[in-house]
Amino acid sequence: MGFRARVYAVVRQVPEGRVVTYGDVAAAIGSPRAARQVGWALAALSDPTVPWQRVINAQGRISGRGEVGRAVLQEQLLVQEGVGFDDSGRCDLKALRYPLQPPELYGDDAF
DNA sequence: GGCTTGACTAATG
DNA sequence: TCATTAGCCAAGC
């Protein structure tokens, strides 16, 4: 199972209205220092069942690289789910962060 | 196999 | 709070 498949398996655990950071996802798949690769994996994402919008950076902000307009869409999707952002584009990470479990515990054989 | 490229992070000023 | 820096590691050439 590839790195990206594990990233997707973990991200799918995140329920509506909750968020996780790239670092959280990296730690859940066993590579605590691979936050950048998590972002890379999501940039290459083609699976519509993965709630990629719930993955934000450790500062509670949207990482606006990648496709133009993607960041705006991401914030809109999160707001729809009930995630609140302040005037500076930050959300309450402390309250909304979701505790992830390693994909092994969930049976990710679908990959 | 070596090099470059990042949806990152933590530390520092 | 913002800007800069060094470390990180999977992918693609």
- Domain with A82 in it: what CATH number? 1.10.10.10
Domain range for A16 is 3-105
Classify residue A12: in a domain, yes or no.
yes
Instruction: Tell whether pTM > 0.75.
Output: yes
Classify residue A64: in a domain, yes or no.
yes
Integer Cα distance of A65 and A82 in angstroms: 23
Q: Which nucleotides of B are covered by protein (CB under 7 A)?
A: 6-10
Q: Which nucleotides of C are covered by protein (CB under 7 A)?
A: 1-2, 7-12
Rg for chain A, CA atoms, rounded? 13
Enclosing H/E stretch for A78: helix A70-81
Total domains in the fold of chain A: 1
| Per-residue model confidence (pLDDT) at position A66 | 67
Classify residue A76: in a domain, yes or no.
yes
Classify residue A111: in a domain, yes or no.
no
| Per-residue model confidence (pLDDT) at position A110 | 47
Classify residue A110: in a domain, yes or no.
no
Classify residue A49: in a domain, yes or no.
yes
- Kindly list the averaged pLDDT for each block of 10 residues, start to end, along chain A of length 111: 91 96 95 94 91 96 82 94 93 94 62 50
Distance A40 CA to C10 C1' (A): 8
Catalogue the E-assigned strands of A8-100: 20-21, 55-56
CB atoms within 10 A of CB A9: 23
Distance A82 CA to B5 C1' (A): 35
